[in-house]
């Protein structure tokens, strides 16, 4: 009885409950998960493009500036000044006329291309450096798309200049062509035919301009729907 009375309260406790007096090891609370730092990309992979890519970024603007100065110097030269040089070199009228047309019409394209290269945003080149793009991707995916609108504008100006020079060269070299026809009709004092030729020259030049505008619009990167 005494034993039952003595042990009754002790046995009534839950055996699974921890003892109030028994020492026990403190249980540590679970620590909050902290984000682990993402390993950085090696510097050699992100900031070390090839030597040719570095040369492209440094040399293209350096080459564009002298070309721009040369083009600005030679662009105002008259076709009448270039034609004797062509006759001296090629010894024939047709190659001399082609040379004159080429040398007079190339400068607008050179000028616009050089200006386009100089205006490539530096942010584009910084992105290429971060992505470690190759020199081929830099040339085809950054430089060419950025410069292409300027190049197409230069082509339009070059074609218009070439059409003007063709008429003048045909007048001077003779043979065939609308320029020679205008000069021949002038010698015959046929003013009506000269006026017709003027309209024909203007219509052809306008058609060339419209065709090149359509080509330029196909390579325009602006959203025309906004």
Q: What is the pLDDT of residue 58?
A: 57
Radius of gyration over every alpha carbon of the chain, rounded to an integer in angstroms: 40
Q: What is the pTM (predicted TM-score) of this model? A: 0.61
> Are the C-beta atoms of 121 and 145 separated by less than 8 Å?
no
Q: Which domain holds residue 103?
A: 45-218
| The residue to which tokens 């190049």 are assigned | 151
Can you state the angle between helices 93-118 and 51-74, rounded to 10 degrees?
A: 120
Low-confidence ranges of the chain (pLDDT < 70): 1-64, 220-226
Q: In this structure, is residue 14 part of a structural domain?
A: no
- The pLDDT tens digits for 145-171 are 888 888 888 899 999 899 988 888 888
Q: In this structure, is residue 39 part of a structural domain?
A: no
Query: In CATH, what number is assigned to the domain containing residue 119?
Result: 1.10.3720.10
Number of domains the chain contains: 1
Q: In this structure, is residue 54 part of a structural domain?
A: yes
Q: In this structure, is residue 25 part of a structural domain?
A: no
SS3 of residue 174 by DSSP = coil
Contacts of 205 (CB under 8 A, 6+ apart): 160, 163
Q: What is the DSSP string of 4-54?
A: HHHHHHHHTS-TTSPPSSS--PPPPPPPPPPPPPPPPPPHHHHS---HHHH
Q: In this structure, is residue 8 part of a structural domain?
A: no
Q: What is the pLDDT of residue 94?
A: 86
Q: What is the pLDDT of residue 61?
A: 62
- The pLDDT tens digits for 129-150 are 888 888 888 888 888 888 888 8
């Amino acid at each position: 009885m005494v034993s039952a009375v003595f042990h009754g309260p002790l046995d009534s406790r839950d055996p699974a409950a921890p003892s109030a007096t028994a020492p026990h090891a403190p249980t540590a609370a679970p620590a909050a998960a902290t984000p682990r730092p993402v390993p950085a990309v090696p510097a050699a992979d992100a900031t070390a493009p090839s030597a040719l890519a570095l040369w492209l970024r440094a040399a293209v603007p350096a080459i564009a500036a002298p070309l721009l100065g040369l083009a600005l110097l030679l662009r105002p030269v008259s076709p009448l000044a270039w034609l004797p040089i062509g006759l001296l070199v090629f010894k024939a009228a047709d190659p001399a006329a082609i040379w004159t047309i080429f040398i007079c019409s190339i400068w607008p394209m050179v000028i616009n291309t050089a200006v386009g290269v100089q205006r490539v945003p530096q942010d584009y080149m910084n992105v290429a450096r971060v992505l470690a793009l190759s020199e081929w991707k830099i040339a085809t995916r950054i430089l060419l798309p950025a410069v292409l609108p300027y190049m197409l504008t230069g082509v339009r100006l070059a074609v218009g200049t070439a059409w003007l020079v063709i008429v003048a060269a045909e007048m001077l070299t003779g043979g065939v062509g609308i320029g020679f026809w205008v000069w021949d009709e002038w010698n015959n004092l046929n003013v009506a035919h000269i006026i017709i030729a003027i309209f024909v020259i203007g219509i052809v030049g306008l058609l060339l301009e419209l065709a090149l505008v359509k080509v330029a619009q196909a390579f325009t990167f602006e959203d025309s729907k906004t």
